[in-house]
Each structure stands twice: as structure tokens, then as C-alpha cells.
Amino acid sequence: MILGMEFSAGDTGFMLVSTSLVMLMTPGLAFFYGGLVGRKNVLTIMMQSYVSMGVSTILWWAVGFSLSFSGGQGGIIGNLDNSFLSGISITDPFTGNGKIPLLVFFVYQMMFAVITPALITGAFTNRVRFSPYLIFIVFWQLFVYYPFVHMVWGGGLLADWGVLDFAGGIVVHATAGMAALASVFYLGARRVGERGPHSIPLVALGTGLLWFGWYGFNAGSELQVDAITALAFVNTELAASFAAITWLAIEWRISGKPRFVGLLTGAVAGLATITPAAGYVQPSSAVIIGIVAGTVCYGAVAWKNHNEWDDALDVWGVHGVGGIIGVMMLGAFATTGANPGGADGLFNGGSTFFFKEVVAVGAAAAWAFVFTYGMLAGLNRLLPVATTEADELEGLDEAIHGESAYL
């Protein structure tokens, strides 16, 4: 037997490209967040994204993949049988379709683990010290991310119950968004305000990288090349575009000016919202999902501003709310006419499926919020989590890292 002959070269190549695209989303997130903060805090928030690439990769190799995808059928968490890739050969196939090496599935899912905790950082910008942040991303993945990966995608409790999540509305966006809100409530507002985005071109660059990478995030989640791959790709583009234009139109109507940051934020909201439904709904439904995403996420951010919650970069309003309503709309619009391997949603006679999706995303959101708040409080007993007012005044780039983005 020639090594690798049992695998599909086309599917394997596609998944390696998709993995690379998802990896690119984390630098994209760094640019997106970096442009939104002030000049004295650019490197700090960008480093929080980049350091997740290192820490989360190591943790995924050590225990994350095994806890997510090894054993534990019908349960909350897996086992440690595949820790450090133990028992996995380079010739082992991914049992989900037998077309790609298991190692490709391992590294593809790794990129999801990398970006998910990095999403949270936009909520507590300028307010968290670096050492506690490193501890935070380890324990948050162990107790929030890995269990929900297992329950939804690893043959666990929610999968057995019939819950679907094509690319991470429950697993990624709802959990990260609600963790972000818990962080805001625990840490409170920044003591030193910022005047707004210091570099909108950086925000635009980050949005472009995120949008580009999201094709790997959503279309790649089919884990092979077929009609559903194309469907997820098309739905991703439609929802992002309709959400971007919807947000732009609403903000233009209210403020009297068509704002670039609003257009960019709307696109990300559409991308987050279509994620759970991308491979399970018709393109016409993706259009509706995009319009709803642009409208509801804009309203959530406005509500956040009205209540003076200092979610600096709108993680809750965009990713949390987007992920939650995306799962709910999956429960409403899903159809086996689009994907025979999916389900029929509320509007296609599947009221039970809709109920399960709502319960699942509600449980994920609640656990992510409660655990995050409790962990920050517990961590603060061991070492100070929040930055000092002096650090905020100086800027965290210099105060914590001894570096400056601009001379």
C-alpha cells in the first residue's frame, strides 16, 4: 500500500487550505481589534490573539483534541486516550468520512480552538494583565470550550439529543460572546477612556482577513468537497453582505452618515450569525439571516451603549448575540431539502428541533457566562486580574510589554 492512497487527494488538499484560512482568521482578528483600540494599546490586544495561537495549539495537542473527540459518547467530555496524539498514526483516517487523514481533522479543529478564546479579548481591552490572561485561556478552554465541542461535534450529549451546529454558533460564538459579557460585568469600565478607533484601515484589513478566512471556517466544516461545501460558501457570502449593508443603512439613517466601521462590523455580525446554519439552510434563508443579523446585532450594540456596558469592541453584541440568533434561525429555517443530513426546522414542521436548538444555545450561553465570571473572581484571589489606573494612563503596550506600535 502506498502511503495515503486510501485518502482523497482533493478533499485532503481542500481541508488543508481550509485549515490555513481558519488560521489566518486569528491574525485577522488581531488587526480588527488592533485598529479599534487606541494607539497606546494596539500591541497588547494584538498579542492576546497571537499568543492564543501558541498556547491553544499546545493545549489542543496535549489534551484538547482527546477531551473533545476521544470517547465519552453521549456525555459531557471525552477521555485522555489520544492525549499528545497518543495512539494516532499518520495513516489513520478521519472516521467521519474516511476521506482525509485524522491528523488533518486534528489540525483543522485546532484552529477553531485557537480563535475562540481570542474573540473574548475584545471585551476587556485595556483592563486585563497578561499573566492572568494566559491562565484564563487555558482554564476557559478546559471547562467551557472543550466540553461543548465534545457535546456538539464529538458525539456527546447534545449530538445524541439531535442538536446541530454546522460551524460554531453554539460552540464558538455563543460561548465566547457570553464569556465576554461576563468579563465586562466583572471588570467594570475602563478608567481611562479612548477616543475611538485609532486606525480604521487596520479594522478594514482585519475584516478582510476574517471574511476571507470564514470561507474555510464555514465551507470547510463540511470536511469534504461536495454540494454542501458550495452551499455553505454561498450562504456565508450572502449573509455577510446583507448584514453589512443592513447595518450601514440603519446607522446611516440614524446618524446621517454612512460609517465605514459600521459596514465592517455588520459584515462580521453576518458572518458570526450564519455560522451555525451555513450548511443547513437554503440561500434564500441566508439572505434573511443576514438582514436579521445586521438589524438585531446593531440593536444589541445600541442597547449595550445605552446601558454603558464597556464591551469595548462589541464582542457580546456581534458574536454573542449573532451566535445565539444564528442558532435560533437554524432551528427555524433548517431544511433537509438543503442538506439531507440536517434537519427540518420550525418553518418546515420541525418544532421539536427548534426547541432543542434554543435549549442548547441557552445552556451554552448560561454556562459560559457563569463559569467565566466565577473563574475571574477566583483567579483574582490568586493574582490581580485587572490592570492599574497607572497602567491604563501609560498605555498597556509600554506598561506591560515595554514596546510601542508607533514611534
Which tens digit of pLDDT belongs to each residue from 384-397? 999 999 999 999 99
406 in a domain, yes or no? Answer: no
Which tens digit of pLDDT belongs to each residue from 117-168? 999 999 999 999 999 999 999 999 999 999 999 999 999 999 999 999 999 9
| Spatial distance between the Cα atoms of 405 and 44, rounded to a whole number of angstroms | 10
1 in a domain, yes or no? Answer: no
C-alpha distance from residue 207 to each of 22, 24, 249, 326, 361 (Å): 13, 11, 19, 20, 26
Give the count of domains, the chain. Answer: 1
pLDDT band at 193 (very low <50, low <70, confident <90, very high): confident
pLDDT band at 195 (very low <50, low <70, confident <90, very high): confident
| pLDDT at residue 173, rounded to an integer | 98
| Spatial distance between the Cα atoms of 313 and 235, rounded to a whole number of angstroms | 25
Q: Are 83 and 75 in contact (CB under 8 A)?
A: no
| pLDDT at residue 266, rounded to an integer | 98
Q: What is the DSSP letter of 101?
A: B
Q: Are 385 and 129 in contact (CB under 8 A)?
A: yes
Domain of 362? 9-401
* H or E, element range at 343: none
Angle at 346 between CA 342 and CA 350, to 5 degrees: 60
Closest CA to 166 of 118, 232, 100, 117: 232
407 in a domain, yes or no? Answer: no
| Type of residue found at 109 | Q
Quick check: 237 pLDDT over 70?
yes
pTM for the full predicted model: 0.96
Share of the chain above pLDDT 70, in %: 99
Quick check: 104 pLDDT over 80?
yes
Q: Are 101 and 91 in contact (CB under 8 A)?
A: yes
| Spatial distance between the Cα atoms of 190 and 38, rounded to a whole number of angstroms | 12
4 in a domain, yes or no? Answer: no
Residue 230, classed as helix, strand or coil, is: helix
Residue 168 maps to which CATH number?
1.10.3430.10
Closest CA to 136 of 378, 398, 394: 378
184 in a domain, yes or no? Answer: yes
Closest CA to 27 of 54, 46, 55, 44: 46
- Mean pLDDT in residue range 252-262: 97
Provide the phi-psi class of 343: left if phi over 0, else alpha when psi is between -120 and 50, else beta.
beta
Alpha helices in 174-282 (DSSP H): 175-187, 200-218, 227-255, 260-274
Share of the chain above pLDDT 90, in %: 97
pLDDT band at 259 (very low <50, low <70, confident <90, very high): very high
Which tens digit of pLDDT belongs to each residue from 50-86? 999 999 999 999 999 999 999 999 999 999 999 999 9
pLDDT band at 5 (very low <50, low <70, confident <90, very high): low
173 in a domain, yes or no? Answer: yes
296 in a domain, yes or no? Answer: yes
C-alpha distance from residue 282 to each of 93, 234, 295, 327, 341 (Å): 31, 10, 20, 15, 14
- Mean pLDDT in residue range 287-315: 97
Quick check: 220 pLDDT over 80?
yes
3-state secondary structure 283-294: HHHHHHHHHHHH
Closest CA to 119 of 52, 191, 201: 52
| Spatial distance between the Cα atoms of 265 and 325, rounded to a whole number of angstroms | 16
Quick check: 4 pLDDT over 60?
no
Quick check: 3 pLDDT over 70?
no
360 in a domain, yes or no? Answer: yes
| Other beta carbons less than 10 A from residue 71's beta carbon | 17
| Type of residue found at 351 | S
